Structure 1
Amino acid sequence: MAEIQIDTNVAGLSSEVVELATKAEEFGFDGVFTSELDEDPFLPLSLIADRTESVTIGTRIATAFTRSPMIFAYMAWSLQRFSGGRMVLGLGTQVKGHNERRFSVDFEWEHPGSRLREEVLSLRHIFDVFQGNEPDLDFNGEFYQFSLMTDEFNPGPLEVGPPDIWVAGVNEYNIKMAGDVADGLCMHAFNTPKYTDEVIAPLVEKGAKIGDRDPDEVTLSASPFLITGATEDEREKRRQEVKRRIAFYGSTRTYHDVLETHGWTDVGMELHELSKEDKWDEMTELVTDEMVHAFAIDAPPNALADEILEKYGGTADRIQLNFDGGDYWKDILEDLRSA
């Protein structure tokens, strides 16, 4: 079994965040990623790159349509240079409401996945120009056109090469697209090992065939819900939080394919109807222990390594877990490395 890489996520610009990232590296995490939530996801990466030596850094994810691909290219190229080749540019479409109402970005396209695919291709072209593999900037797509790059504005090649590009995918098109043109797939938290094995991995393989690629070149990055803690009371509190999140995502039809794989379509429809009435407590009660077991990694710290390997060993290449800075994580990561 190939060794699974263990990542974590951090947020903010405070010294505590940088300390958490350095502790994550010290304990043995393989990567530290940021998300586009209530902070810019790129700014913390400069600080983290400066204070760490070996961990992969990256966005998981940055919203794809809120910046020009050229802006992404410059930021990712600078971070790749500054970190010595550790940068991953993770992009996702985000939903229509956030694009239009939070970012004031037009979202009137029939297939957002097609635009994300073209964004990846345009970034590949820009990276080739930066690296000197293409003499001229000349990309003419449906959504993006780039044709001006003088020496003054070209940052020049990197010894470590361009950063990897990952995309987030939930629907069939985006998952196949990851296999076709991306270096990795960021899988949603509302996901299970069964769904990954039976649906996601085959779709990535189909996409890889379209792109005439080896599917093993595409990193599968999982981010399951995590339930752990020193006491059963702590774990039960987190278990209830996870049930609420499962109920929330399960009420959205976008994610019902995952429920269908497990035979829980009726639960999804019931959750959807209750959500329209804001009956969140009732929704949480519909989430069974069986569902929690499918969606979450649930174990005390001394059994967490075994649970991670049982659930995702051989299923994902990387797994992102929330890291609270607790010293028990050092033992967990040591157990994973020795397994």
Structure 2
Amino acid sequence: MAKIALACTILPDSPPARLIEWSRAAEDAGFSGVFMTEANNDSLACALALGLHTKRIKLGTAITNIYLRHPNLLANEAAAVQEFTGGRFILGLGTGHRESNSALGIEMGIPLTRMRETVKTLRAALEGGKTGPRVSAKLPLYLAGVSRPMVKLAGEIGDGVIFNFFPPARVKEALGELSEGAQIGGRDVKQIEAALFATAFISDDLEAARRPARKLLSRYGALKFYGNMMAHSGFEREIAAIRAAGRDGDAAVKAVSNELIDATLLVGSEARVRERLHDLCAPGIGTAIVFTNPVNEDRNAAVMRTIRALKQG
């Protein structure tokens, strides 16, 4: 069975004090880690804060956008989080969405090349004792992998990979790509962890849970890399309809099928979510990073429900 980690982010209904409460509750419930997303917040600063208020649980980012910081600054930030938390940090790296980066005036160039260069710089600084503070233990670097080339790159140079919205069939395929990358890098694929970011909508009312799930997938299906991945995974019709809808949000939402929802998200009752999580992780996922969106209740109640439902040990 995969290890379970909690995912958090900063939102109006998720202030810093609440994130600390959730992290402590997750730690008490036997979760393996708590990961910070990065959307209008600083993932590393938040991970550091959560680490200072917990004792055992791993701290991670899922993900930190490599375009928002110079690699030398990122190396020093990551080293600080690692040392202040007693060596419990995992730095998850991603390229963000081209749409969001472009809105910030960021020219991405070739993301695969930029990721390779960033990891090279980070490793040289972290492992060469060039950061302040120096790290006293290895700091794992995980790569967010959606496209095949990025998954292979994670196998070649990363300590782990983070998938998102991957159906089980895509997970199996991606694990093969991870192995190919490991062979290119002359590495043992068993030493590279595959993690899955899984978004949950928990409710005994399945249709009520599917409504916000449908809206979420209508947005992500419109994005280039996620849409391409879902289309390749057997949902060509849905993605084509989402893209054809353009700015018609209602039409995009209607294009999301129940099959797409069930293949990519955790939706339904607590028992159904546990079953789906097992199915999603069965192909070979080491850690499931679960992010909860509320269904007809406030976010605090929804997150605490998730922690209780997925309690470990």
Whether TM exceeds 0.5 here: the answer is yes
Residue 296 of structure 2 is matched in structure 1 by: none
Residue 173 of structure 1 is matched in structure 2 by: 149
TM-score (norm 1): 0.82
- In 2, Cα distance between the equivalents of 1:106 and 1:91? 18
Equivalent residues of 2:238, 2:257 under 8 A apart: no
Counterpart selection for 2:67 from 49, 65, 68: 65
Equivalent residues of 1:166, 1:186 under 8 A apart: yes
Alignment of 1:31-180 (within 5 A): 31-102=33-104, 104-107=105-108, 109=109, 111-130=110-129, 154-158=132-136, 161-180=137-156
Alignment of 1:1-339 (within 5 A): 3-12=1-10, 14-102=16-104, 104-107=105-108, 109=109, 111-130=110-129, 154-158=132-136, 161-188=137-164, 190-198=165-173, 200-229=174-203, 231-232=204-205, 235-275=206-246, 278-323=247-292, 324-326=299-301, 327-329=304-306, 331-334=308-311, 337=313
- In 1, Cα distance between the equivalents of 2:288 and 2:83? 25
Equivalent residues of 1:28, 1:333 under 8 A apart: no
- In 2, Cα distance between the equivalents of 1:94 and 1:320? 18
Equivalent residues of 1:193, 1:315 under 8 A apart: no
- In 1, Cα distance between the equivalents of 2:154 and 2:212? 31
- In 1, Cα distance between the equivalents of 2:271 and 2:231? 33
- In 2, Cα distance between the equivalents of 1:288 and 1:156? 50
Identity %: 22
- Aligned residue type for 2:156: D
Distance 1:303 1:254, change over 3 A: closer
* More deviation, 302-311/26-35: 302-311
- State the SS of the aligned residue for 2:310: helix
What are the ranges of 5 or more consecutive residues in structure 1 without an aligned counterpart?
A: 131-148
Aligned residues: 301
- In 2, Cα distance between the equivalents of 1:11 and 1:257? 26
- In 2, Cα distance between the equivalents of 1:250 and 1:274? 11
- In 2, Cα distance between the equivalents of 1:101 and 1:331? 39
Deviations 1:200-226 (A, max 9, x none): 111111100010111121111111231
What are the ranges of 5 or more consecutive residues in structure 2 without an aligned counterpart?
A: 293-298
- State the SS of the aligned residue for 1:264: helix
Deviations 1:115-167 (A, max 9, x none): 1111101111111211xxxxxxxxxxxxxxxxxx6xxx753351xx1311111
- Aligned residue type for 1:11: T
Moved over 6 A (4+): none
RMSD: 2.1
TM-score (norm 2): 0.88
Distance 1:274 1:169, change over 3 A: same
Equivalent residues of 1:29, 1:55 under 8 A apart: yes
TM-fit CA distance, 1:56:
0.8
TM-fit CA distance, 1:333:
3.0
- In 2, Cα distance between the equivalents of 1:266 and 1:329? 32
TM-fit CA distance, 1:21:
1.2
- In 2, Cα distance between the equivalents of 1:285 and 1:157? 50
- In 2, Cα distance between the equivalents of 1:93 and 1:313? 27
- Aligned residue type for 2:237: D
- State the SS of the aligned residue for 1:191: coil
